[in-house]
A and B are shown apart, each in its own frame.
Chain A
Amino acid sequence: MSAAVERYDVAVIGGGPGGYVAALRAAEHGLRAALIERDRLGGVCANQGCIPTKALLRSAEVFALARDAESFGLHAGEVTFDLAAIVERARQTAARMEKTVEVLLRQAKVDVLRGTASLAGSGRVEIVAGDGSARTIEAAHVVLATGARPRVPDALRAAGPRLWTYREALAPPALPASILIAGAGAIGVEFASFFRAFGCEVTLVEMLDRILPAEDEEVSEAMRRALAKRGIRVVTGAKVVAVEEAKDGVSATVESARGVERIACERLLAATGIEANVESLGLEGTRVVVERGRIVVDPFLATAEPGVYAIGDITGPPWLAHKASREATVCIDRIAGVAGVRPLDPTLVPACTYSSPQVASVGLGESAAKQAGRRVRVGKTSLVGNGKARAIGDTEGFVKTIFDAETGELLGAHMVGPEVTELISTFALARTLEATEAEILATVFPHPTLAEALHESVAAAFRD
Chain B
Amino acid sequence: MAASSLVAVVMPRLSDSMTEGAITAWFKKEGERVEAGEAIAEIETDKSTVDLEAPAAGVLARIVVEAGSGNLEVGALLAEIDAGAEVKSAATTSSKVAASASGRVAAASVAIPAAPAAATPIHRPAEASAAASVRATPLARRMAAQAGLDLATIAATGIGGKVSKADVEAALGIAASSAAPASAAARAASPALRAVPAKAPAAAPSGTPEPPSRIRRVVAERMALAKSTIPHFYLAVDCRVDRLLEARERLKADGESISVNDFVVRAAALALVRVPDANASWTDKGIVRFERANVAVAVALEDGLVTPVVRDAGSLGLAAISATIRELAAKAKNGGLAPSDYDGATFTVSNLGMFGVGEMYAIVSPPQACILGVGAAEPRAVVDGGQVVAATVMTLSLSADHRVLDGASGARFLAEVRRLLEEPARMLL
Contacts and interface: CB of A to CB of B under 8 A. Distances in A.
Interface in B40-94: 42, 49
Contacts of B104: 17, 45, 50, 321-322, 325
B192 A304 contact: yes
A336 B211 contact: no
Given A434-B140, A436-B139, A338 B117 contact: yes
B116 A336 contact: yes
B118 to A, nearest CB: 8
B108 A346 contact: no
B229 interface: no
A299 B180 contact: no
Residue with the highest number of chain A CB atoms closer than 10 Å, among B139, B140, B186: B139
Contacts of A97: 102, 105
Interface string B289-303: 000000000000000
Interface stretch (A100-108, A221-229, A261-269): A100-108
A96 to B, nearest CB: 7
B187 A316 contact: yes
Residue with the highest number of chain A CB atoms closer than 10 Å, among B120, B178, B188: B188
Nearest to B192: A304
B335 to A, nearest CB: 9
Interface in B19-57: 24-25, 27, 42, 49
Interface in B160-217: 164-165, 177-181, 183-184, 186-192, 211, 214
A21 interface: yes
Nearest to A108: B109
Given A28-B112, A340-B119, A372-B177, A432 B159 contact: yes
B159 A342 contact: yes
A336 B188 CA distance: 21
Contact of B142 (A287, A299, A407): A407
A373 B120 contact: no
Given A99-B49, A101-B105, A104-B105, A408 B179 contact: no
Contacts, number: 128
Contact of B139 (A336, A339, A409): A409
B353 interface: no
A303 B191 contact: yes
A287 B119 contact: no
Nearest to A339: B119
Interface in A298-327: 298-299, 302-304, 315-317, 321-322, 325
Interface string A40-54: 001001100010000
A291 B189 CA distance: 12
B65 to A, nearest CB: 18
Contacts of B211: 373
A151 interface: no
B124 to A, nearest CB: 12
Contact of A100 (B25, B120, B184, B192): B25
B97 A372 contact: no
A462 to B, nearest CB: 14
B151 to A, nearest CB: 13
B137 interface: yes
A117 interface: no
B344 interface: no
B108 A24 contact: yes
Contacts of A17: 104
B403 to A, nearest CB: 35
Contact of A435 (B138, B158, B180): B138
Interface in A26-62: 28-29, 42, 45-46, 50
Contacts of A330: none
Contacts of A329: 111
Contacts of A345: 180
B108 A408 contact: no
Interface in B99-117: 101-102, 104-106, 108-109, 111-114, 116-117
B97 A316 contact: no
A407 B27 contact: no
B122 interface: yes
A408 B145 CA distance: 13
B45 to A, nearest CB: 13
A42 B106 CA distance: 12
Interface residues of A, number: 64
B247 interface: no
B109 A438 contact: no
Nearest to B158: A434
B187 A296 contact: yes
A408 B109 contact: no
Contact of B191 (A24, A296, A438): A296
B143 interface: yes
Nearest to B27: A107
A79 interface: no
Contacts of A304: 190-192
A323 to B, nearest CB: 10
Contacts of A336: 116
A296 B138 contact: no
A406 interface: yes
A58 B104 CA distance: 17
Contacts of A321: 104
Contacts of B122: 339-340
B153 interface: no
A124 interface: no
Contacts of B138: 433-436, 438-439
Contact of B183 (A50, A316, A337, A372): A316
A289 interface: yes
A104 B179 contact: no
Interface in A274-294: 287, 289, 291, 294
B189 A296 contact: yes
B108 A325 contact: yes
A25 interface: yes
B109 A298 contact: no
Given A21-B108, A96-B49, A107-B27, A434 B137 contact: yes
A18 to B, nearest CB: 11
Contacts of B324: none
A461 interface: no
A291 B211 CA distance: 32
Contacts of B121: 340
B116 A29 contact: yes
Contact of B188 (A29, A298, A303, A373): A298
Nearest to B95: A107
Interface string A79-115: 0000000000000000011011101100100000000
Contact of B179 (A24, A364, A406): A364
A107 B34 CA distance: 12
B97 A104 contact: yes
Contacts of B112: 24-25, 28
Contacts of A29: 116
B92 to A, nearest CB: 14
A270 interface: no
B177 A287 contact: no
In the A-B complex, list the 6 residue pairs whose CB atoms are closest, starting with the nearest: A340-B120, A434-B137, A339-B119, A304-B191, A434-B139, A298-B190
7 contacts: A97-B105, A103-B25, A298-B191, A339-B122, A347-B180, A347-B181, A407-B143
Given A345-B180, A434-B139, 5 more contacts: A46-B105, A287-B192, A298-B192, A304-B192, A322-B104
Interface of B: 24-25, 27, 42, 49, 97, 101-102, 104-106, 108-109, 111-114, 116-117, 119-122, 137-140, 142-143, 146, 157-159, 164-165, 177-181, 183-184, 186-192, 211, 214
Interface of A: 17, 21, 24-25, 28-29, 42, 45-46, 50, 96-97, 99-101, 103-104, 107, 287, 289, 291, 294, 296-299, 302-304, 315-317, 321-322, 325, 329, 333, 336-340, 342-343, 345-347, 363-364, 368, 372-373, 406-409, 411, 432-436, 438-439
